[in-house]
Structure 1
Amino acid sequence: MAHAIRIHANGGPEVFSWEAITVGAPGPGEALLHQRAVGLNYIDVYHRTGLYPLASFPAIIGMEGAGVVAAVGPGVTDVAVGDRVAYAGVPGAYAEERLIPADRLVKLPDDVSFETAASVMLQGMTARYLLRETYRVSASTVLLFHAAAGGVGLIACQWAKALGATMIGTVGSPGKMELAKAAGCTHVINYRTEDFVTRVRELTGGQGCGVVYDSIGKDTFPASLDCLKPKGLWVSFGNASGPVPPFDIGLLSAKGSLFATRPSVMAYTATRADLLANANELFGMIASGAIRPNISRTYPLRDVAEAHRDLESRSTTGSIVLTV
């Protein structure tokens, strides 16, 4: 009998319940996965609290994991029994075993552990599409990245450095400043002691940035727009401080004919070809040493409530992995 963390209503970390579940045989196009590690991401908090509504209850949340294929259903050709695989963007990860569409699984290189895969699939592919597709970052790019010492942020620091870009990062403590700087962030701002808009203007000679990556939400809006140069792009990809309030689209015109987008990893990996291109470039960056995954903490899956409390307190850096 397998176990999973389920929730029966939205709420705080106390809604998590460790329960026995029955996982059936895989149907057409499905694989049965024995999980070894699960990644913890802020989107899990949004699902738990109801900011991102769930389809029904009880529910098993969690968006990424890694493990071994235990069985496959009819018509599956992408993976085989015994394959080491990982995935991101498919709800239901907080479980020892799960069924999953086989075409959402990516085979792991031999030198990538389950824990590493679970720590980078969602965050690493997010960093990849943000810097390589949403805005094509190059050596001439000056960018601002909020939460530069977080899971996505530390990967973005390393990726931006590899691309030769000038990255300005914001963090909330001296310790996080050191982490972001060590990961390759060109300039780091402690938003608790400095006004980041003023500092960005100083660092860019009054020009502003070509792109701002904002996973904070309410607390950094609309100030993030004031960090952009004319025709710059504001990329809102998270709501750590709460959702961005509704705003008049005319604000984008008033602040310099700005562009705005709200992307998701699901859209950027919607086809199998897109998924493989994204994951394989990420694995290539890891293999080259350009990106070194940072797992700051691990927790047993059944202790996920504690992990959520630590994540929401903003006391964590890098990636958090739940072991199965």
Structure 2
Amino acid sequence: MEVAKQIGTLLVFLCVRNSVFGLVCYDCGRDTVNQQVKCNATTTCPQGQRCLLQTLVSSTDGHKRFQMRCGNLEECDGVELLPVGKRAVQTRSLTVQCCTTDLCNGVASSGHVDPSASTCNRDIEVMLEDSTGAAVTDHQILKQFLQSMVDHMNIGAQNNQMGLSTYDTNIDHKWDLDKHLTNAELKAALGRLTFNDHNKNTADIHRVVDFLTDHAFTHINGNRNLFSDSVVIFVNQNSHVRLRDAILNEQHKLNGVSRDVVIVVVGSGQDSPEITQLYQLASSSGHVLHVPSYSNLAGLELKLLSLLCH
């Protein structure tokens, strides 16, 4: 059953399939966020409540704010709309959506795009290490992880674009930022992605930085001047990382093209001095993700996206 009510600029939806109790919902209280991925807290709602997602859209510039929590039937039905003030009602459109499955007020389920993704549109360059540090099964897991991340994005010429390259001691540029401009095309390309499986155990970050700063984010490779650039570099912990001596110069050069540089290190054990030095290329200490294995990437899609859209 779906009920829709129009109240001035207020559009309220109620989606109820059955009577579900004790739902687990994303819940950030009365705080609002500019991206749904930034609300990671969850709670078990009281019996009879539903997962609520409130979206405020500015009528002046179109920017969105989201509130995620549990909601009672009256709120879901528009009877007890949240007090936003007269001025807010005049300048914003308010949508309240309620649903009855666990965590349904967050990122949409597989096959759908996260409604908040349109608030963060980027040119994203992905760099994947291709060396002896990862097995064939690891590569498959990595491709599935990236496909899952794409499920939570809007891909298009006016939305997010993603370029991709693999590297070891050289760069193998797979596709430009504007090569695949739909979610389906990009996911299919990721599915076809091949690794060279070089017999090398070296990750030449020096070449990666040069490629990113001199080639990846250029107009000929699909870069858009009006959109911010983001970088994610995957590296195996047990690889030999090759860096320039002047790491701060590398950092300055890379941060000159992107303020959101994320380093994802895969592997367990003690970090080598080179890996520790590599962390300095990230935009901040919070832009470093370290997982013990490729299988541990599952579930980090939203975390990575939130860092790329910091």
Q: Which has the higher helix share?
A: 1
Structure with the larger RCO, 1 or 2 (CA within 8 Å, 6+ apart): 1
TM-score calculated relative to the size of structure 1: 0.28
TM-score calculated relative to the size of structure 2: 0.29
